[in-house]
Structure 1
Amino acid sequence: MNRRLALLAPLAFLLPFPALAEKIPLGAISDYLNGLSTVEADFTQVNSDGSISTGKIFIKRPGRVRFEYAPPDRSLVIAGGNQVAIFDAKSNQPPERYPLKRTPLNLILAENIDLSRAKMVVGHTEDGSSTRVRAQDPENPEYGSIELVFTANPVELRQWVITDDLGAQTTVILGEMKKGGQLGARLFDITAETAARGD
């Protein structure tokens, strides 16, 4: 599978987290994720082959995300309209498209996130500095999983690790998040982006 469809999962790769914390309850994590409307942040991505990419991420819940990869990569991943499109900067072909529901990222882009749903959370641990929650689509575990890493006081999403349907892992580490700003619909418009690129 294309390394970006993973989006897009992981190493034992942790940021320096603050002091010891108790495990954050799933209800508090669900509330935090549901409270995120828009997010902008820089990100570092550790790919399954060990290579590292950087860029900027834009999230607009529900259902929309944009990964802009920094030069020399210049690739782009957009989720919008229930689709994920992967624009390969090295290709003059139209973007690869997949249903968003087939990617683990759909679990944090859903309109109403409820991590207490049966069989959704398959791991919930705390290591003294962070809480890790591994989730999958209860109806379609074969689509892969996403492991979210949070710090507490206040709850903050720091990174995620996506394991795709082939077992490949990609880690996305978030920089400081700017929340609640205005993000235009054009950022998440796959059709407009395709036209602008002449694909």
Structure 2
Amino acid sequence: MIFAAALAAPVLISAAPVQDSAVDQVERHLRSVDSMVAEFQQIDRNGRVLTGTMSLKRPGKIRFQYERGVPQLIVADGSSLYFIDYQVRQVERWPIGNSPLAVLLDPDRDIGKFARSVPTRDPRIVSIEVHDPDHPEYGRITLIFQKDGSAPGGLMLQGWVALDSQNNRTTIRLSDQRTNVPVSDRTFRWNDPRRGGRP
């Protein structure tokens, strides 16, 4: 219910003024997180729902391991973000900095220049929208946090809504979040289907 209430806001307030306290709090949280493992639910623009496990390690590494039977993988290895489709043996690649996920992966990124606070109906929720107006092709991302005194920086990431340059919307909801836990660099290796590799 908390996430659902927050999701309604991004469509209405994309031009909201920056509220330094919210943006600063998110920056403190991000600087306090070196790694995270969580379960995720992904909802695409057509309403298709997929689940899996997300592993994050800063700087620059993230992996979305989808549920069994889904022949896809999204992984960033520290320099590039890859979308791998094992069914059709196709790999797409982007520089991490060209992705909305850069805000989560780059600990040195100054989000204050690109972030706007998103008002929510629940005082327990902090939400910010991040996009670079000079590079609309990078898309935008609205991050949603719940206040939690025991979490890094007093916030726990609940998920996000990403819009790509074609306004395709993808919603990620997180659960069972564990921050600053050991995550091996091997997690972010992947098998190239163009060379016969399997997921």
TM over 0.5: yes
Alignment partner of 1:86 out of 66, 83, 94: 83
* 1:162 matched residue in structure 2: 162
* 1:147 matched residue in structure 2: 142
Equivalent pair of 1:33/1:113 in contact (CA under 8 Å): no
* 1:127 matched residue in structure 2: 121
Using the alignment, how far apart are the partners of 2:5 and 2:130 within structure 1?
A: 24
Gaps of 5+ in 2: 7-18, 150-154
Counterpart check, 1:45 vs 2:34: no
Q: CA RMSD in A?
A: 2.5
The one-letter code sitting in structure 1 at the alignment partner of 2:147 is A
User: Kindly tell me: are residues 48 and 197 of structure 1, through their superposed partners in 2, closer, same or farther at Cα, counting changes over 3 Å?
Assistant: farther
Any runs of at least 4 consecutive aligned residues in structure 1 with deviations exceeding 3 A, and if so which? none
Q: Higher helix share goes to which structure?
A: 2
Equivalent pair of 2:38/2:175 in contact (CA under 8 Å): yes
* 1:5 matched residue in structure 2: none
Report SS of the residue matched to 2:111. coil
Report SS of the residue matched to 2:104. helix
Alignment partner of 2:27 out of 22, 26, 30: 30
User: Kindly tell me: are residues 153 and 186 of structure 1, through their superposed partners in 2, closer, same or farther at Cα, counting changes over 3 Å?
Assistant: closer
Equivalent pair of 1:43/1:174 in contact (CA under 8 Å): yes
Tell me by how many angstroms 1:131 deviates: 2.0
Using the alignment, how far apart are the partners of 2:64 and 2:165 within structure 1?
A: 21
Using the alignment, how far apart are the partners of 1:53 and 1:180 within structure 2?
A: 25
Counting matched residue pairs gives 178
TM-score, L = length of structure 1:
0.80
